[in-house]
Structure 1
Amino acid sequence: MHNAILQPIVVLIGWTLVMLAWAIATRLPAMRAAGVDLGRLVGTTAADADRALPKAVQWKAHNYNHLTEQPTLFYAVCTVIALTGTGNGVNAWIAWVYVALRIVHSLVQATVNRVQPRFILFLLSTLALVALTLHAAMAVFR
């Protein structure tokens, strides 16, 4: 494949949408059970939902938010790598590692939400992102 690094980008975007669907599928019934009327809500914050809904329900929404934060850097750096024609081989492999770590991080956060394994997974995925960034810099500044 010409730019294999595009595949992990699409998979992580798909996974982010899966997490969004999971958050909605658990949050709406929990809101109904808590007596929250969406039609009457005005200007609420995430903290309001955290107070009103069970923690395990909120974990999915929190993870969805996380998937719209650091992964934006992943999308950008992978796009740079693809545009420089260096998106195959080791860069594609590192991108897949990043995506796998983020998916496992999501599953941990959305189910048991233990901080230590989440932190380790986040740290490892960040190291993969650093490696991709260095490779992108080498491709752009060579």
Structure 2
Amino acid sequence: MTTPLAQAIFLPVASLALWTLTVLLLIPIARIRASVAGQVEVNDFKHGESERVPAHVRLPNRVFMNLLEVPVLFYVACVVAFVSQHVDGLLMTLAWLYVALRLAHSLIYLSYNHVIHRLSVFALSNGVVAVMWGVLLWRLLPG
């Protein structure tokens, strides 16, 4: 039987998924605006994004890709924690911290894009997901 706390692990999961979908919406907005402004043509996206595509148009796609890479480890960790009945306050805190850091990373990237700030938040978020996996592996070890 699952507890409300165990089920709550899916709140940070859903939050990050919704943020990812929000960023996904920025891609066509940027591309359509650039097309209307005459900065790009349809064929500039034939094989992804050509060199003609301005950086500000490529940016939402890059942020979206970032939200599909390492976060997979977060999503799987949350499912493993739920299935193995190891959801507790520590894992909930780490899960929400991870989501907050990924949100901060995306917002930095999409706004003022200071590389050192972005890298710092990215590294911290990766550390948090690594700690989540460390905690889970420790708990899953026999004996």
**By the TM > 0.5 criterion, same fold?**
yes
What does residue 9 of structure 2 align with? 5
What does residue 91 of structure 2 align with? 91
What does residue 81 of structure 1 align with? 81
Quote the Cα distance in structure 2 between the aligned partners of 1:31 and 1:84. Answer: 49
Secondary structure class of the residue paired with 2:5: coil
Say if 2:19 and 2:103, in contact at 8 Å, map to a contact too: yes
Quote the Cα distance in structure 1 between the aligned partners of 2:17 and 2:123. Answer: 20
Aligned pairs, how many?
A: 138
Q: Which runs of 4+ in 1 moved over 6 A?
A: none
Secondary structure class of the residue paired with 1:2: helix
Structure 2 residue 21 is matched with structure 1 residue 17: yes
Sequence identity percentage:
28
Say if 2:12 and 2:99, in contact at 8 Å, map to a contact too: yes
* Root-mean-square deviation (Å): 1.8
What does residue 140 of structure 2 align with? 140
Say if 1:63 and 1:109, in contact at 8 Å, map to a contact too: yes
Say if 1:30 and 1:57, in contact at 8 Å, map to a contact too: yes
Residue deviations 1:46-88 (CA, integer Å, cap 9, x gap): 3x1xx22332232111100110111011111111111111223
TM-score (norm 2): 0.87
What does residue 48 of structure 2 align with? 45
Once the two structures are TM-superposed, the CA of residue 37 in structure 1 deviates from its matched residue by 4.0
TM-score (norm 1): 0.88
